[in-house]
Structure 1
């Protein structure tokens, strides 16, 4: 025997009346003899996605038009004579004969007009199992699945060897159980549909790109998704509390870091600290002692060659941003007169430290919020200065009492907002978003980035946060960045105009388990089917629907023990974990080695 082909030949073949033993494997073959009256595209897909090993073999033989016309003519003559005989005898008409006659007339007309052709079609199944007992269970499961598709499967009794050969990719039909199909029915039988996401390049034989989300519930395959291969890189993740939203996002972030993608996170509940410590990320705890962000810093970018540059309208944009900062601090919209006074005071504050419209002066040290308050009080903005007093020298001055102490740079930057008081969370969130926008819009460094906004409903309550999400969803694509908005308050997000715009501008949409109170609106917005609705109502933790345009896939998130250690938020598990960065890194190394 040729040594090149010996590896593909079994050691022995044992033939039984209804089964075969090929090497160490047991097989049973079936021929499909009964079909449903009407089929839809992809109707054989359940057989192809059966979790066990099943070979599905289709044998197609075209029938020449002359032979097809003659056969249809004979069949119509038989059916019509039978109908007339039944009518002459005064008997009731057989509904099956009536349906067959109508189908024959319709098929004959389409063939005569050249709208279709006839084919002889054979469908055969071969079930594989490791043992004879397991083969019986697999055969019963496959026949039940075929019966649910209105397929009548008959075992190839005493022709088990011929049935197996017929299922092999050799083009040999040794069973000969054929049915006549027309073009449309035959086209529907081809497995053109699949529960798996289509690859970006179907002709490529390389490994799948993107991030591993988990396994496909429908086909048991793996779900890889590359958001940067879509029209935009944004995503929204919607699900009830405890559905596994943060768990899934942290998994994606960890696996995205392996691909060289920079990540920025707005973390209101301090859930990303353990992950940041393990991968050497930069965690900025706003509200902690000594952590300050100066809102008057100009957006100066450092190029790879060390040169420092800024946009041409950097000073104007910073002045407009300071209008928003003051409005958030005061908790109200500014009147026209107040805006005029504030605008003059901002310009005077920058001029006092030598920063003018000349870009060469923009690298000088920026003034502080206290300097702006003094100028306001001296130029007629007494009321505005009084409103800024708690943030300049009062109880809330810790965040603004000096120059910026930390820079949001690194492969993973987490802005932890948990230590901020409720009064400072709006302005802290705004400053964090501004720092993220500086990095994303830096023209000197164009890297792929992800900006994660956890619990986005907290930002949507604040106008500044809602406007940032809206602007980010529109413009991040131009800067090779993607916005990831996570929320459990789905009705409130979809109730606002800006929230709907954020969802509409996300090419990737992930729906996890939903509450019964929100499912109707979710189904309406995302056009879900009844089966998808039931799936989202009963999904386990970590299960969800990944939607990319017209493609949807049901998946289950999976993580390795080391990944689970870093991304879990289970209070019982977190309580037993170390809290220092050194201990976290040591435990991570031990898990990875195990």
Structure 2
């Protein structure tokens, strides 16, 4: 019924025309192009997907979950490539109702079990009873309460074919994760709105699942296995096997990295040495000074190829490190307030040389050391060392050598017979190191101590037990001075097969101090071994276990593969814990795959050499893989050369 003024026929005829004119003027006023950008220009529903503009959408509902708790069910799913969104709803459930449900389930299933003889049906009933018992145990122990959980997986692709491929990929992953999925056919509209972050669960009656809170908590992605600290100074360690992203660590970031120390453990043939060579190559490329201790002569070839220096240590080696040369003005932690002069440096060096002499003659007496103290002082005095004000003014050739010490003792024959008698036994021992067949320690230092890459080949010393301890002590004393004399320069000490060295008390003492104190000097030690048991059994002169100290003081640990005994030793002696997944990966001992632990972070890592690293490390394999001669350096600059348009864009780029 119409109560207004009655319209005439003429007014009625003219009214639609005015309406059309109004709509036309409104269209010209509105910015419809901007609205079209915000809102899809089309929306069409199909039984199992939605087409919205250029997007094809499908929502998968989860209707059942794994029966046993394990960390982060959806970890593999959330790392899948594609436009994937996971929506979850959690709703409290009545504990009384759930307890009654599980209690009745146990009674009914056990009664049913008495009547069933089919093995398959009995197995299923037993599993259902076991699950119900487990839920009751959790509740009675006050470890959990009960909730309803709902999960939707929102998929979006640019074509229907891509959407179907993504759906198939996700479905396979869900099956692997023991999660039962369902595509709500003819309910896609409700599923779409349920997956949006607006709190509308329109399919709740069809997708709910009871669960205890402990199991449900493992769905939250709080155990992300990413170790990615990218900065210009970061070390790229490898590829994360779970996420396919980089594993990168900034070892100089003291907020996130306690120290730069690392241990690399793995059985033979799993890629441990390859990984360590890769690290050396990358340090050299970044102009970081690297010292290498090489017990098996595995690094000499690559070091020489890179222009570094290799020191081959043996009883009659031509390369020398003079045990009487002073390499550093760093003395100890406790005298920082004192003025360090040559007098103080020589006194400190004399104490260390007496320790070296004790290795040459293990039964040296206190009286012998007292006489040697004055002999050594006279040796430095006669060499003219005290006339200088700094060691930077003294050349290597100006320092006294063992021959000078020998000559000073020989003078006592004429000047002080009593003192000579005290040193008579030591005199004849020292003679063999000066004029005999063991001349390793006699002579001026003739290696390039300023080289950025310096390797010590210790292989020959493995069969020369009489000089091994002294050679280790002399070498490690030199390294300690070189590393600790400069707190600003970043230096790396790399030692492979260090289980050989932990059996020697002098070497063990050096590594103990290195792993404990290198952090103060902006340095890091990287030790690799395949004999974890030998490392854990290595002791120092005071019977302290060096293996525990080295591994315990390594903020970063890399495990390339271990047998059951190795895992057991780490667990029992170092109290390290490994998950079942980690144990399985370690026991597989697959080449190039490792578990890396950085502080509290853990990740499975794949180590792969770059093209240039492979060319330098393994020329034969490089030629087989790339089909190019390893002697020819590829033109890498040509590969990254800018196109003309990129050059124009770069030149015209304006900084804000």
Shorter-chain TM-score bucket reads 0.7 to 0.9
- Alpha-carbon offset, residue 407 of structure 1: 3.4
- Alpha-carbon offset, residue 33 of structure 1: 1.9
1:515–1:569 Cα change, 3 Å? farther
Matched, 1:321 2:352: yes
1:207–1:370 Cα change, 3 Å? closer
**Partner Cα separation in structure 2 for residue 329 and residue 5 of structure 1:** 89
1:404–1:82 Cα change, 3 Å? closer
Describe the SS at the equivalent of 1:512: strand
Between 1:514-523 and 1:221-230, the stretch displaced more is 514-523
**1:347-386 equivalences in 2 (<5 Å):** 347-355=377-385, 360=389, 364=394, 365-379=398-412, 380=420, 381-386=423-428
**Partner Cα separation in structure 2 for residue 8 and residue 284 of structure 1:** 70
Match of residue 236 from structure 1: 263
Gaps of 5+ in 1: 201-205, 303-307, 577-582
**Partner Cα separation in structure 1 for residue 530 and residue 137 of structure 2:** 56
**1:460-475 equivalences in 2 (<5 Å):** 460-475=502-517
Describe the SS at the equivalent of 1:500: helix
**Partner Cα separation in structure 2 for residue 286 and residue 108 of structure 1:** 68
Between 1:275-284 and 1:366-375, the stretch displaced more is 275-284
- Alpha-carbon offset, residue 479 of structure 1: 0.9
**Partner Cα separation in structure 2 for residue 575 and residue 323 of structure 1:** 55
Describe the SS at the equivalent of 1:227: coil
Residue of structure 2 aligned with 1:540, choices 577, 581, 590: 590
- Alpha-carbon offset, residue 489 of structure 1: 2.0
**1:547-558 equivalences in 2 (<5 Å):** 547-558=597-608
Match of residue 509 from structure 1: 557
Match of residue 57 from structure 1: 86
**Cα root mean square deviation, aligned:** 4.8
**Partner Cα separation in structure 2 for residue 457 and residue 116 of structure 1:** 47
- Alpha-carbon offset, residue 141 of structure 1: 5.5
- Alpha-carbon offset, residue 265 of structure 1: 1.4
Describe the SS at the equivalent of 2:326: coil
Gaps of 5+ in 2: 1-30, 116-124, 331-338, 413-419, 539-544, 640-656
1:505–1:298 Cα change, 3 Å? same
Match of residue 429 from structure 2: 387
Describe the SS at the equivalent of 1:360: coil
**Partner Cα separation in structure 2 for residue 489 and residue 80 of structure 1:** 53
**Partner Cα separation in structure 1 for residue 38 and residue 342 of structure 2:** 65
Describe the SS at the equivalent of 1:246: helix
* Relative contact order higher in (CA < 8 Å, ≥ 6 apart): 1
- Alpha-carbon offset, residue 367 of structure 1: 0.6
**Partner Cα separation in structure 2 for residue 161 and residue 309 of structure 1:** 81
**1:308-457 equivalences in 2 (<5 Å):** 313-330=344-361, 332-355=362-385, 360=389, 364=394, 365-379=398-412, 380=420, 381-397=423-439, 399-418=440-459, 422-423=463-464, 426-443=469-486, 445-457=487-499
1:348–1:476 Cα change, 3 Å? same
* 1:214-249, Cα deviation, whole Å (9 max, x unpaired): 112223222112333422221111111222112111
- Alpha-carbon offset, residue 280 of structure 1: 4.7
Between 1:174-183 and 1:531-540, the stretch displaced more is 174-183
TM-score normalised by L of structure 2: 0.70
**1:476-515 equivalences in 2 (<5 Å):** 476-496=518-538, 497-515=545-563
**1:11-410 equivalences in 2 (<5 Å):** 17-19=47-49, 28-36=58-66, 39=69, 42-49=72-79, 51-53=80-82, 55-60=84-89, 121-126=149-154, 139=167, 142-147=170-175, 149-160=177-188, 163=191, 167=195, 175-176=203-204, 177-178=207-208, 187-197=217-227, 210-228=234-252, 229-257=256-284, 261-277=288-304, 279-286=306-313, 290-300=318-328, 313-330=344-361, 332-355=362-385, 360=389, 364=394, 365-379=398-412, 380=420, 381-397=423-439, 399-410=440-451
CA contact (8 A) 2:72 2:223 kept: yes
- Alpha-carbon offset, residue 134 of structure 1: 7.9
Describe the SS at the equivalent of 2:489: coil
Between 1:285-294 and 1:498-507, the stretch displaced more is 285-294
**Partner Cα separation in structure 1 for residue 231 and residue 36 of structure 2:** 29
- Alpha-carbon offset, residue 22 of structure 1: 8.0
CA contact (8 A) 1:266 1:432 kept: no
- Alpha-carbon offset, residue 562 of structure 1: 0.3
**Partner Cα separation in structure 1 for residue 346 and residue 137 of structure 2:** 79
**Partner Cα separation in structure 2 for residue 183 and residue 189 of structure 1:** 10
* 1:193-218, Cα deviation, whole Å (9 max, x unpaired): 11223x56xxxxx7596211111222
CA contact (8 A) 1:265 1:453 kept: yes
CA contact (8 A) 1:561 1:591 kept: no
* 1:382-422, Cα deviation, whole Å (9 max, x unpaired): 3212222232123332x444321233224333334457684
Match of residue 580 from structure 1: none
Equivalent residue pairs, number:
559
CA contact (8 A) 1:76 1:101 kept: no
CA contact (8 A) 2:98 2:146 kept: no
**Partner Cα separation in structure 1 for residue 565 and residue 271 of structure 2:** 19
